[in-house]
Structure 1
């Protein structure tokens, strides 16, 4: 009953597809990551910089605040926020409460030491981004594997291409799948290597409060050490109050490119199903149309395309918007960042439905063969190219007159070849032996090359 009243499809209709994002990007997830940053900063202040005395045996008591964090704790933070009207301050007060309960109230004022709220927020979002990136990258890798399987299975199956929707130079089905596998895999590699940056340098990015009270500490080095060692994030030194989000934008643009490639695959598969190149497996009980009983619609690819389009629009906005701020700080980024989980939600729905669609189709080789056999004019390209090599006059124009706007058969082509004056006899025989199905160039070898180079 809860999901039927959900405002967003991510928590309603598609809840089953987005479950792995809940603990990362929900309000609970954001609060927990804020608690993580505050706790790790507190431990760093006390144990690394030794700004106050703490019994080492008490560190576990501090860690328990994070390790045992529950939904009930998140609700307590929200309860405090109703009084503070400030979400990060509520986290600070929550941690102080917990410390007091554990007899550690004397270190309470070291919580949130010298931090501005965005020191906590940007670092929490950086941790969330890393997890979201890893989830998305794993799913994109699954898509690569699925597409690669198709590439190998169909690497030798000839297929008529279509440029501008018109019959064009043949390829192989496997080669077309490899084109997509390469595009997806490129973004997988970029995403895996992408660093995630965070800053913890104070109200306007210059460690002002830190330096005022402890000028003897190298705060630049300390901040770098904290982010690198304790949170495995790349330190960002040159900021205003907020993170300029360059690393977020970099990751989003890689996701945008991969999403666009998924849409491209979705549309191609939709078209190939329409042409009859692929058949969709039937499932008992499913309905394709409310009025046309015969229909089996390519709904998985359509769903993938639609959700990827939504993801792209959100990612494009966020990638640009979050690199802008008025002077040293405004809050317009805050509400936008809360949509980070939504764009990952639409993205993974798009990936999952594309994979689902690919798993429900089988190649219809007969239709491909018939298409190639019915389009002998595809050989106009190699024939006019050969005629150029051997010095025949007006090769392009002669093939254009023979083939453009009309269907021809093999007999007409053979008769044309017989009349050629400068093409040597053995090469004429090669031309006669050529068919659209065998005119696939190095398509098969390119499939092998992809797997060899990967």
Structure 2
């Protein structure tokens, strides 16, 4: 089925928004409106109902069902493609009378059948369906499309910016800080590459996500289906329909699709968020010690009272939005996998917040991308920090002494303890280290190797490891 161009549901701005995603931050999150708003849910319900109607007719599962013409198929699907503000209002007026959202969708479709020459087929709309047959599929379509067309592209865009930073800083030697203390040097690019690698693993999981659906009646038994048409292989009809929607068929459910796939997805997105949160904290910390300079935005105010400041607000805002997103994702993942007996309605209110949960993640991705675009690596500050911490070469010296001892070089006893006495709790400059090395009695080759070593050179394979993100 060739997709048509749909009316965008995100075009109209809310007059007054209760939440920031539909107000202050709408430009960053509006892409989700076409998939996870209440209007999008209703459009997806119409999509599911129309496709079920078409499926039943094309499969001719009931005596007397006609094969639909190409023109009728086009006109039926136009209900979905042209669904816009006027149709949203019409559906709302129907629901005001039915006090039932899915029933309103059924009536909305039936109203249009006469004009298509299909008025006699009104009983086929919503045939053998419980509301959850329509809802679970509508949500699955909306969640899938939101993730694949909005969230994943935003995540990949942020990763591309991180990869560019890795490439630029792959060889920029930097003092590490383990437990907040000076430690074995690395490169800035390698440290960012660690986050790239971790985030990519989560994206790989999310890209492989299955989106499940079912259409098997009031308690998942096909009882109404079989009573009306006992000769039909209804599980096969249901499976082919769900797969026609681009979803994975769930063959065994209660009244509801069990939502396990949603919990899996939200756990992976939340894990991605947490890794990104860690990146934000690290970048914020690097900014605070001057390893990154922030590029001022022309005309922007850094602080309302201190003119010299450029605050790292992009990363701070990202942290907050990631935390809000995860609070919702964790709640959804825990709530949606449980249902009392064959059905309760706790999932209904929960699922209406999926857009908010993903919206705060999308907003955080936007914040991080903008923040990364305003960073400049302060190589002079990073180099000066390294040069002020020659004691980090103590690890290299004591390790070489261990190797020399194994090779039979005399006088290499207690290497760790000797370096601890020299370096712990005190600054050691290049001259003092070289004098210490000269007095150890190392082999000539080992002694020269250590004398030539500087903190900026002591980065091992960090530069090579940084480039592994391209593998």
For normalisation by structure 2, the TM-score amounts to 0.93
What CA distance in whole angstroms lies between the structure 1 residues aligned with 2:117 and 2:322? 51
Q: 1:414 aligns with which of 418, 434, 439?
A: 434
Identify the match of residue 66 of structure 2 among 54, 60, 68: 54
Selected match of 2:30 from 4, 9, 19 = 19
**What does 1:380-399 align with in structure 2 at a 5 Å threshold?**
380-391=394-405, 392-399=412-419
Q: In the alignment, does 2:465 pair up with 1:446?
A: yes
- How many residue pairs end up in the alignment? 450
- Residue 209 of structure 1 is matched in structure 2 by 224
Task: Name the CA distance, whole Å, in 1 between partners of 2:175 and 2:331.
Answer: 39
Q: What is the deviation of 1:55?
A: 5.0
Match of residue 401, structure 1, among 421, 430, 443: 421
Task: Tell whether the 8 Å contact from 1:3 to 1:13 is kept in structure 2 after alignment.
Answer: no
Equivalent position SS for 2:22:
coil
Query: What displacement does 1:103 show?
Result: 3.5
Q: Per-residue displacement from partner, 1:112-164 (whole Å, max 9, x unpaired)?
A: 11111011001000000111111111111111111111111111110111111
Structure 1 residues 264-279: aligned runs within 5 Å: 264-279=278-293
What residue is the counterpart of 2:191 in the other structure? 176
**CA 1:416–1:95: 2 relative to 1, 3 Å:** same
Q: Deviations over 1:242-292 (max 9, x none)?
A: 111121112111111111111111111101111100101112321122221
CA RMSD of aligned residues (A): 1.5
2:295 corresponds to 1:281: yes
Secondary structure class of the residue paired with 2:21: coil
Mapped partners of 2:234, 2:171: distance in 1: 62
* Cα distance, 1:196 vs structure 2: 0.7
**1:100, CA displacement in angstroms?**
2.9
* CA-CA distance at 1:62 after TM superposition: 2.0
Structure 2 residue 207 is matched with structure 1 residue 195:
no
Q: 1:163-186 CA deviation, whole Å, 9 max, x = no partner?
A: 111111111111112111111221
8 Å Cα contact 1:172-1:443 kept in structure 2: yes
Q: Deviations over 1:203-222 (max 9, x none)?
A: 11111111122121111111
Structure 1 runs (4+) deviating above 4 angstroms are 1-4
Q: Does residue 425 in structure 1 map to residue 440 in structure 2?
A: no
**2:46 matches 1:35:** yes
- Residue 164 of structure 2: aligned partner: 149
Structure 1 residues 324-373: Cα deviation after superposition (integer angstroms, max 9, x where no partner): 11111000110000001111110100001101000001011000110000
Structure 1: gaps of 5 or more residues: none
